Amino acid sequence: MMQNLALIILSPLAGFLITGLIGKRLPEKVTGWLGSLAVLVSFVLSISVFNQIAANPAGMHQKLFTFLSVGSLQIDFALQADRLTALMMLVVTGIGFLIHVYSIAYMHGDAGFYKFFAYLNLFVFNMLVLIMGANFLMLFFGWEGVGLCSYLLIGFWYENAEYGKAARKAFVMNRIGDLGLLLGLFLIIFEFGSLDYHTVFEAAARGDHNLGVITAICILLFVGAMGKSAQIPLYTWLPDAMAGPTPVSALIHAATMVTAGIYLVVRCNTLYHFAPVAQELILYVGIATSILAALIGLKQNDIKKVLAYSTVSQLGLMFVALGCGAYTAAMFHLTTHAFFKALLFLGSGSVIHGMGGEQDIRRMGALKASMPLTFWTFLIGTLAIAGFPFMSGFFSKDEILAEVFVHNKVVWALAVGSALLTSIYMLRLFFVTFLGSFRGTDEQKHHLHESPWMMTVPLAILAILSIGGGLLNLPEIVGGGMAHTLKHWLEPVTGKPAGEHAISHGTELALMGVAVAMLLGAWLYTRNKYQSKGVVPEADEAQEGTGRLLSHKFYVDEVYDAAIVQPVNTTGEILYEQADRKGIDRIVNALGNLWVWLGGLYKKVQNGNLEYYLIFMVAGLILIVGFNLFR
C-alpha cells in the first residue's frame, strides 16, 4: 500500500498533462470528466490512506528520491501522511472533486474549457504536494505551485485587463509572503541543519535551541502564512481575486489554498510552542483581520465580494484559535469552513449562472421561487456560517470562542463581535438575494432558471456536510462519549497542549447562549430590514429617512441604527474606502512603484558616455581600496 502516497499526487498530475495537452481536441464532457476522475482517484486513495492512519497513528512516510545533498544537508523528495495530513487530504480531494464536477456545467461553452480543467488539476496536485510533503522544501514547492495556479486561474479571463491586474496583485502579494517563508526555511537550515519535519520537530522538542531564533523562524513562517491566508496587511489580494471563475473562488480562495497558512502553523506547532511572542502576534493579527474584514463585508453589494471578505474574516478567526494554541479548534473550523464556504461560493455561482453573469445583489431578489435548490442550500450555508445551533459552524465557532474565552477576555469580546457581524452580513446577503422582490431586468427574469444537476448535486452534498460537519468534534455537553473526536484524532500531531484548561459546562452553555442570542438578534434585524421592509442596499451612503421607521418600531430600530448600525456601517465604509483602498492598498502599490522610480533614476547614470563610466569606476575603485586599507 505504500505506493498509494505517490499515486495520490500523480493522479491529478496525469490529469493535468492529459487535459492540458490533448484536452483541446476532446469533447468538453470528456475533458471535464477526465479531470474530475483524476481527482476522484486521489479521493478514493486518500480514504484508504485515512483508514490506515486511523489504525496507525504514527503515519506513513515514503521517500521518492534524494532531491538535494550538499555537505551535511540532505533533502529528500518525500511524502508523508499523518493525521493532520489525512484530514487535509480528504478536504482537498473531496471538495476538489465536487467542484470539478460543478465546473463541468459552470464552464460549459467557455473557450478555455480544457485549460480550466488542466489548471484545476495542476492546482490539486500542488495543494497535495503542499500538505503531503515530508519536509519544508516540499511544502515550499506546493506553496509556490498553488500560488502560480491561483495566478493563472484568477486571470483566467485575461482579456479583461482588470482581471489580469487582480491576478498580478495576488501573485506579487504572495511573493512578499513567500520571501518570509523562504527566509524562515534558511533560518531552519541554519539552526537545525535539516528541513525534514521529523528531524526539525524532534530537535525543537528537546527544547535546547536558541529561543530567539525559534521565535524568528515562527514569525517568518507566519509572514508566509499572512500572504497565503490573506491576513493584514497582505489580505487585499483576496477580494480582488474574485475576478476568477466562481468554482476557483470556492476551491482555491475559500476551501483549500487560503487555509495553507493555517496548515503551516499547525504543522509547526512544536516550534510555536517555544515562541509565545509569535503566538501573541498571530492572535492580534488574526483578531484585527477578522474584525476589519467583517466590518467591510457589511457594505459590499457584490455577492462574491461579501463572501470574499467573509473568508478573510473567518481565516482571521482561525488564526485567533492558533494564537491561543487551540490547534484542534482551528483545524475544526478550517474543515467546517471549507464545507459551508465552498457551498456558499458554489451557491453564488449558481445564482450568477442563473442571472446571466449578474453579481450585484441589488439587482437580484426573490430568487427563491425560480431557484429552489440553490435557495435551500444557500440558506443552509448561511445558517451554518452564522452559527445556527447544531449546525457545523455553530460547534466550530463556539469551540474557538470558548478557547479564546479562557485565553484572553478582551480578544474574546472582539471575536464575539466579529461573529455577530458575520451573522449580520451573511443574513443581509441572503435576504437581499433570495427574498424581497425581483429587481433585475425583464430579460434576466425570463432566463432565470435552476442550474443543471451537475451544479446542484455538489450543492446538496456540501449542504449535508455543512449541517452535519459538527459531528467531527462535538463538545462534551452535547456529544457525551462521542465528544472531541477530532481532538483525539489530531493528538499525535498537536500533542496534548499543556496550558489548555477545560471550562466548566455552565460557562460553556452560557457562551453558547450568547452566540445563539446574537444570531437571533441578527436574524430579526436583517429580516425586518431586508425582507419585511424590502430595503435595498444603497450603492453609496444614502441612508433613508428613519423618521417613519421609528414610529413603527418603538424607537428600537432608531436607537439600534444610530448607536450601533450607523457607526458600524460608516466604519465599514470608511475602512473599506480609507484603510483598504487608500491605505494598505496604496502602501503596497507604492512599494512596487518605488523600485520602478529608482530604475528611472538609475537610467540617468547609465547615459552611454564612456568618460562618466570611467569616472564612476575609478571613484568606486578608490573607495574600495581606501576602505579596505584603513578599515
Partner 1 sequence: MRSLLLIFLGAIAILFAGLGKKEIRMLPWAIALLLGALVFIPMDWIANEQPDWVNHIVPYFMMVFDRSALAFMAVIIIAAMLVLGLFGQREITGSDQLGLILFSLCGALILCSFTHMVMLFLGIEALSIPLFVLAGSRKKDLRSNEAAIKYFLMGAFSTAIFLMGCAFVYGGTGTLDLSVMQRVIPGSAAMGGMTGLAKTGVVLLMTGLCFKIAAVPFHFWSPDVYEGSPNRTTLFMATVVKIASFSAFFRLFNFAFSSPLAHGNWSFVLAILAAATILVGNIGALAQRNLKRTMAYSSIAHAGYMLLAILANPLESFWALIVYSLAYAGSSAVVFYILNKVQEKKGNTEFESFNGFGRANRWLGILLILALFSMAGIPVTAGFAGKFLLFSAAFTGFKWLVIVALLGSAISIAYYFRVFRHAFLTEADGDIIKPEWQDSVFLAIAATVLLLIGIWPALITGLQLFELH
Q: Which long-range contacts (CB under 8 A, 24 or more apart) does 517-523 make?
A: 518/416, 518/419, 518/420, 518/423, 519/386, 519/387, 519/388, 519/423, 521/420, 522/386, 522/420, 522/423, 522/424, 522/427, 523/423, 523/427
Q: Contacting partner 1 (CB under 8 A), which of 1, 2, 25, 71?
A: 71
Q: Does residue 625 interact with partner 1 by CB under 8 A?
A: yes
Question: Which span sits near partner 1 by CB under 8 A: 47-55, 103-111, 140-148, 510-518?
Answer: 140-148
Q: Does residue 622 interact with partner 1 by CB under 8 A?
A: no
Nearest distance, CB of residue 46 and partner 1, angstroms: 23
Cell numbers at residue 542, please? 444614502
Question: Which span sits near partner 1 by CB under 8 A: 112-120, 158-166, 310-318, 406-414?
Answer: 158-166
Are the C-beta atoms of 587 and 233 separated by less than 8 Å? Answer: yes
Question: Which span sits near partner 1 by CB under 8 A: 166-174, 385-393, 563-571, 581-589?
Answer: 166-174
The end-to-end CA distance of the chain, in Å, is: 64
Q: Contacting partner 1 (CB under 8 A), which of 15, 32, 155, 224?
A: 155
Are the C-beta atoms of 127 and 256 separated by less than 8 Å? Answer: yes
Q: Does residue 111 interact with partner 1 by CB under 8 A?
A: no
- Pick the closer one to partner 1 by CB: 578 or 606: 606
Q: Does residue 22 interact with partner 1 by CB under 8 A?
A: no
Site residues for partner 1, window 190-249 (CB under 8 A)? Answer: 190
Closest residue by Cα to residue 252 from 69, 126, 395: 126
Between CA 154 and CA 352 the distance in angstroms is 17
Nearest distance, CB of residue 602 and partner 1, angstroms: 5
Q: Contacting partner 1 (CB under 8 A), which of 15, 80, 144, 259?
A: 144
Nearest distance, CB of residue 68 and partner 1, angstroms: 5
Query: How many of the other CB atoms lie within 10 Å of CB of 565?
Result: 17
Task: Annotate 96-132 with DSSP letters as a single string.
Answer: HHHHHHHHHHHTTT-TTHHHHHHHHHHHHHHHHHHHH
Nearest distance, CB of residue 592 and partner 1, angstroms: 7
The 77-106 contact track toward partner 1, x by CB under 8 A, reads x-----------------------------
Are the C-beta atoms of 380 and 343 separated by less than 8 Å? Answer: yes
Task: Say if residue 233 is preceded by a cis peptide, omega within 30 of 0.
Answer: yes
Q: Contacting partner 1 (CB under 8 A), which of 123, 136, 171, 222?
A: 171
Q: Does residue 504 interact with partner 1 by CB under 8 A?
A: no
- Pick the closer one to partner 1 by CB: 173 or 318: 173
Q: Contacting partner 1 (CB under 8 A), which of 89, 137, 320, 512?
A: 137
Question: Which span sits near partner 1 by CB under 8 A: 258-266, 310-318, 571-579, 617-625?
Answer: 617-625
Q: Contacting partner 1 (CB under 8 A), which of 32, 133, 145, 239?
A: 145
Beta bridge pairs of residue 360: 302
Stretch (H or E) spanning 62: strand 60-70
Beta-carbon contacts of residue 477 (< 8 Å; ≥ 6 apart): 505, 508, 509
Please state whether 377 falls in left (phi above 0), alpha (psi between -120 and 50) or beta: alpha
Closest residue by Cα to residue 438 from 523, 355, 379, 374: 355
Q: Contacting partner 1 (CB under 8 A), which of 17, 30, 183, 478?
A: 183
Q: Does residue 524 interact with partner 1 by CB under 8 A?
A: no
Task: Annotate 196-235 with DSSP letters as a single string.
Answer: BHHHHHHHHHHT-S-HHHHHHHHHHHHHHHHHHTT-TTS-
- Pick the closer one to partner 1 by CB: 545 or 608: 608
Total binding residues toward partner 1, as defined by CB under 8 A: 57
Q: Contacting partner 1 (CB under 8 A), which of 140, 192, 319, 345?
A: 140
Are the C-beta atoms of 449 and 354 separated by less than 8 Å? Answer: yes
Stretch (H or E) spanning 79: strand 73-81
Nearest distance, CB of residue 119 and partner 1, angstroms: 13
Q: Contacting partner 1 (CB under 8 A), which of 10, 37, 179, 556?
A: 179
Q: Contacting partner 1 (CB under 8 A), which of 58, 159, 208, 437?
A: 159
DSSP classification of residue 604? H
Task: Annotate 352-376 with DSSP letters as a single string.
Answer: HHHTTS--BGGG---TTTT-HHHHH
Between CA 265 and CA 522 the distance in angstroms is 33
Between CA 534 and CA 544 the distance in angstroms is 13
Query: How many of the other CB atoms lie within 10 Å of CB of 481?
Result: 6
Question: Which span sits near partner 1 by CB under 8 A: 181-189, 241-249, 547-555, 576-584?
Answer: 181-189
Question: Which span sits near partner 1 by CB under 8 A: 61-69, 249-257, 513-521, 532-540?
Answer: 61-69
Site residues for partner 1, window 572-611 (CB under 8 A)? Answer: 592, 595-596, 598-600, 602-603, 606, 608, 610
Q: Contacting partner 1 (CB under 8 A), which of 146, 187, 292, 518?
A: 187
Between CA 437 and CA 425 the distance in angstroms is 19
- Pick the closer one to partner 1 by CB: 548 or 604: 604
Q: Contacting partner 1 (CB under 8 A), which of 118, 176, 281, 511?
A: 176
Question: Which span sits near partner 1 by CB under 8 A: 185-193, 372-380, 404-412, 457-465?
Answer: 185-193
> Which residues make up the interface to partner 1 (CB under 8 A)?
65-71, 73, 77, 137, 140-141, 144-145, 148, 155, 158-159, 164, 168, 171-172, 175-176, 179, 182-183, 185-187, 189-190, 592, 595-596, 598-600, 602-603, 606, 608, 610, 612-614, 616-617, 619-621, 624-625, 627-629, 631
